[in-house]
Amino acid sequence: MLSKRIIPCLDVRDGKVVKGVNFVNITEIGDPVEHGAWYSEQGADELVYLDITATHEKRKLLSGLVRKVAENINIPFTVGGGVNGLGDAGALLEAGADKISVNSAAILDPGLIDQIAKSFGSQFLVIAVDAKKINGSWVVYRSGGRIATSRELFDWAAEVCDRGAGEILFTSMDHDGVKTGYACQELAQLSEKVPVPLIASGGAGKREHFLEVFTEGKADAALAASVFHYNEIPIPELKKYLKENSVNVRI
């Protein structure tokens, strides 16, 4: 059985790590390279860096930052935000990223998923899906949670897998930053519908939430930000707790 993964997420804006609640109220909390190196030492399995304003502001990710991260950490990391074509994907891979995360560009041009998967391999491609429950239906959003789309969570997740996505990073916008637990019911449904690893995001507030997302939510990996950034849940202690509760994690 594959180990369940613990993944700190570092939202980046203007070269600084930031954190918000429900995708708003953004505050700066530190340097992305220093944070990444510290997480690597703490035993994180992977990292995710998301430039939360790249798409909205029509900017490209700075390859220089990716190179610095690659030079300072020894665990896999994913980079997303403003990836609009094969050129962007190739540049990030060349700079040292292990995977890229695509959200808005895939929604606007689903064929991009096929192109990236065929050019670089599915294992290089994570499709990020941000969704919010509206009138009983999970609506997919783009542009950092700013724009609602006509896509529905489960249909879109199935389509991206058919097109070649290697993983899905699902963020419940309703749960993001409020620390009341992950959207375990929806995650469990997704895990039954998609054949690729599922990364859960949005809602971690205590170590029990991680246990729930792996057992009830059937997630393959759990992503969190503030509880790790502020060391509210130290990763070594979290992994020990999960191991004691029969969750297979890498110690």
Identify the sign of the CA torsion 162, 172, 51, 45.
Answer: negative
3-state secondary structure 43-87: CCCCEEEEECCCCCCCCCCCHHHHHHHHHHCCCCEEEECCCCCHH
Could you give the CA distance from residue 174 to residue 21 in angstroms, rounded to a whole number? Answer: 10
Q: Which two tokens stand for residue 122?
A: 């599915």
130 counts as catalytic:
yes
Please provide the distance, in angstroms rounded to a whole number, between the alpha carbons at the two ends of the chain.
15
Inter-residue contact 239 to 249 (CB < 8 Å): yes
- The shares of helix, strand and coil residues in the chain, as percent rounded to the nearest 5, are 35, 30, 35
Q: Output the CA torsion 138→142→160→165 (10° steps).
A: -130
Helices (H) and strands (E) in the chain, counts: 10, 12
Annotated catalytic residue, options 11, 51, 176, 220: 11
Which of the 8 DSSP states describes residue 236? H
Q: Output the CA torsion 175→179→181→182 (10° steps).
A: 40
Annotated catalytic residue, options 45, 51, 130, 220: 130
Active centre residues (catalytic)? 11, 130
